[in-house]
Amino acid sequence: MIEIEYNREEVREKYKALFEHSLDLIYVNDMNGNFLDASDLTLIALGMDKEDIPNISFIDMLDRDNLIKAYKVTKEIRKTGKQSAQSEYKLKTKMGDFIYIETYGIPLKKDDEIYAILGVAKNITERKIAEKKIRESADMFKALFKEGSIPAYTWKNVEGNFILINYNNAASKITNGNIENYIGNKATDMYKDRIDILNDLHLCLNDKTHIRREINYRFQFSKEEKFLLVNYSYVDPDLIVVRTEDITERKKAEERLKESELKYRNMINNLDVGFYQVTLDGIMINHNPAHNKILEYDLSESLIGKKVTDFWLFPEDREQYKEQILRDTYAKNYICPSLTKNGKKVVVQLNSHIMFDKQGKNYGIEGTFIDITEKYNLEKKLRESEKKYRNLYDNTPFSVVLINTQGVVVDMNLKAKEMFGYDRHEIIGKKFMNFPIIHKDYLPNLLKVFRKFVKGEKFHRMDLKINKKDGVVFWVNLQAALTKINDKTYVQALFTDVTAKKVAEILVEEEMLKLKELDQIRKNLISRVSHELKTPLVSVSGGCELLLTLYGEQLSKEELEIIGLIEKGGKRLKYLVDNLIDISRIDYEKFKIVKTPNDLSAIIREISKELNYSIKDRKLNLMLLLPESFQINLDLVRIEQVIMNLLSNAIKNTPPNGEIVIKLIKKENFAEFSICDTGIGISPKEMDMLFTKFGKLERYGEGFEYIDIQGTGLGLHISKEIVDSHEGEIRAESEGRNKGSTFIVRLPIT
């Protein structure tokens, strides 16, 4: 037999009313008699604690005869699978004394296999003791005058007074011999405060009868008040024998029983679940207030005598329910559509069992019920939802596979069967990692992702190679989500065939690789050409300067103009080569800056002087709004390059008689300077090209005659790299064509 683990929380929830409210002893033992669980009352009765449960076994508590009886009952439960009849056992407690129980066992099943027994027992120790005392009382009565085992006293009638004339050994014993001192005493002296005893003596004598009374009495030699069972027996006109029995313990037991029954009744009345007792024919014989509340009757209204079928929505179903109860002796979680007093339809869940009389004959049904209307309706909607989900699941255009947290495939739709080429029975029940669907190159990473995903880490999607059953290899995109079904977690994997997309991506990657190679060739070419051009340019520039120095006065105007053109072209070409070298440094990440303390105001003034000839030549008005001094750490050469480039652009793009304003301020922790012109401005389309590599703005046509169109489109790109290297920012603003433009540079003050 497969060993099934005992789920304490599940059993306790299922039999919550028994464990928490029942006055019976509730326990669970496995098929070998070992305890698995026990209620607090059970542990108290056995003199044990919760920690003792793993060590409690019926083998240690039962003698041989009781153990054989328990074994037979267990065997019968295993054979029939039904609740056992009541059996009586004598149990040895932890303290070594004994208690008596009357119990029956309910089989606990999982997957139709009995793995434990739920015991419901009544503690009948007090009853057994009382029965024993009754037997002993009868025996003592018989042996009264032989052995004197019951305390007895003989009273003689002397002229209307009762005189104590005799007693037996039992009477002497319980009075510690004090009774001897009362021989010859009158009853009126001994019981002057107990008129009831004196009256019973006279009544017994006068009526020549036997009187049996229960009285409470305090002996003069004892401080404890006891309950006595007193028997007055008429012997002859002058003689009465009085026998007394101490029934104190029995009376206390009866009081406890009454209190227990009262608590049980209060518990039933205070339950939130409906309680009922009906005859087998369906006549109500008992119920609690919750029964009325659920069925919308007034709480004080008695339903005793009513037919239970009045509460059933389909009365004809009650016979089937009754047959089940009579067959199995119980009905568990029976769903019963019902009607309230106002005719409203509700759904209740019954848990019932047969009631037996002392002779073991069934006479009725007892049980509880709860209103599950809301739950029933929700479950109904859930079933409908699941039906719709299954329809969607089977007809979705995507391949869907359901996998448990151990990696076992538990379900797949028809689209997945078509995609993989395997039938459902070939995949379901197998671990995906042991199946040849996933290409071996991708399986290790997929396993790693799967383990993290079921632990709660996020997963978006991934591309995999799949091996189809016929050997075809194709690409899929995998998406996954965690889903709960019956409180169990599953991974819902969605596969999409992306073979065409993947092939295209591979082609794109190959083309990108070629483009990177071409870009590298371009970078190398720019680097080599720019460095190769630098050497002859030095010779050209130097030669022009030497000619002008040595022979400037001897040369004609035409010759000087030619040399000037050569020098101007050399400078322009040198500027281009310098820009190309800077671009090469940027591409190879060798563009470095060296910061030193400098006066930014002085730098702007100096560059303005250098370009003063161009400003005057184009008849422009330059305004400098600068503080006297502005100290800041920066790379002098590079920032000069930025200012030179921005101011040159403003000069080139501003028409004659235009205005250029250079402003420098401290703003927060930045030095902010701006170069604002009244030139041609920048259109929105041109704004997107600014600061890009080779982003030269081409402006031709009427109205653009004053613009100097020469340039490479590298200046602003290099300027941005310089400003970025200073951890600053550069931007341009313009309201549009012919509305001027402003270039703003912010450098951090460190």
- Angle in degrees, CA 120, 122, 124, rounded to 5: 155
Element (H, E) at 370: strand 362-371
DSSP labels for 268-324?
HHH-SSEEEEEETT-BEEEE-HHHHHHTT--TT---TT-BGGGGBSSTTHHHHHHHH
- Angle in degrees, CA 468, 472, 474, rounded to 5: 80
Q: What is the CATH number of domain 596-748?
A: 3.30.565.10
Topology of domain 503-587 in CATH is Helix Hairpins (1.10.287)
Q: Between 2.30.40.10, 3.30.450.20, 3.40.50.720, 3.40.50.300, what CATH number should domain 274-377 receive?
A: 3.30.450.20
Q: Are 491 and 466 contacting, i.e. CB atoms less than 8 angstroms apart? A: no
Average pLDDT of the residues of the chain: 82
pLDDT tens per residue, range 395-426: 677 788 888 989 899 888 888 888 888 998 88
Element (H, E) at 167: strand 161-167
Distance CA 76, CA 82 (A): 8
For the stretch 735-744, what's the b/e string if a residue is b when 16 or more beta carbons lie within 10 angstroms of its beta carbon?
eeeeebbbbb
| Domain boundary assignment for the chain | 8-123, 129-252, 274-377, 396-497, 503-587, 596-748
Would you state the structure tokens that stand for residue 178, as one six-digit string?
A: 């004090």
Does the pTM surpass 0.85? The reply is no
Bigger pLDDT: 80 vs 700: 80
Residue 681 has pLDDT above 60, yes or no: yes
- Architecture of the structural domain at 8-123: 2-Layer Sandwich (3.30)
**pLDDT score recorded for residue 734:** 92
Residue 551 has pLDDT above 50, yes or no: yes
pLDDT band per the 50, 70, 90 thresholds, residue 121: very high
Distance CA 280, CA 268 (A): 21
Residue 701 has pLDDT above 80, yes or no: no
pLDDT band per the 50, 70, 90 thresholds, residue 705: very low
pLDDT tens per residue, range 505-515: 777 777 777 66
Q: Quote the CATH superfamily of domain 396-497.
A: PAS domain (3.30.450.20)
Sign of the C-alpha dihedral, residues 390, 392, 396, 398? Answer: negative
Same CATH fold assignment for domains 396-497 and 596-748: no
pLDDT band per the 50, 70, 90 thresholds, residue 328: very high
Residue 89 has pLDDT above 90, yes or no: yes
Bigger pLDDT: 732 vs 358: 732
**pLDDT score recorded for residue 144:** 46
Q: What is the DSSP-derived secondary structure letter of residue 696?
A: P
User: Can you tell me the mean pLDDT for 330-341?
Assistant: 91
Please state, as a whole number, how many other Cβ atoms lie within 10 Å of the Cβ of residue 515: 10
The percentage of residues in the chain with a pLDDT greater than 90, rounded to a whole number, is: 25
**pLDDT score recorded for residue 132:** 77
Alpha helices in 396-498 (DSSP H): 414-420, 424-427, 443-454
* CA Rg value for the chain: 54
**pLDDT score recorded for residue 634:** 92
Classify domain 129-252 at the CATH class level.
alpha beta
**pLDDT score recorded for residue 2:** 57
DSSP three-state, residue 595:
coil
**pLDDT score recorded for residue 610:** 84
pLDDT tens per residue, range 563-582: 766 766 666 556 556 655 56
- Greatest mean pLDDT range, 260-274, 319-333, 445-459: 319-333
pLDDT tens per residue, range 287-327: 888 888 889 999 888 888 889 999 999 999 999 999 999 99
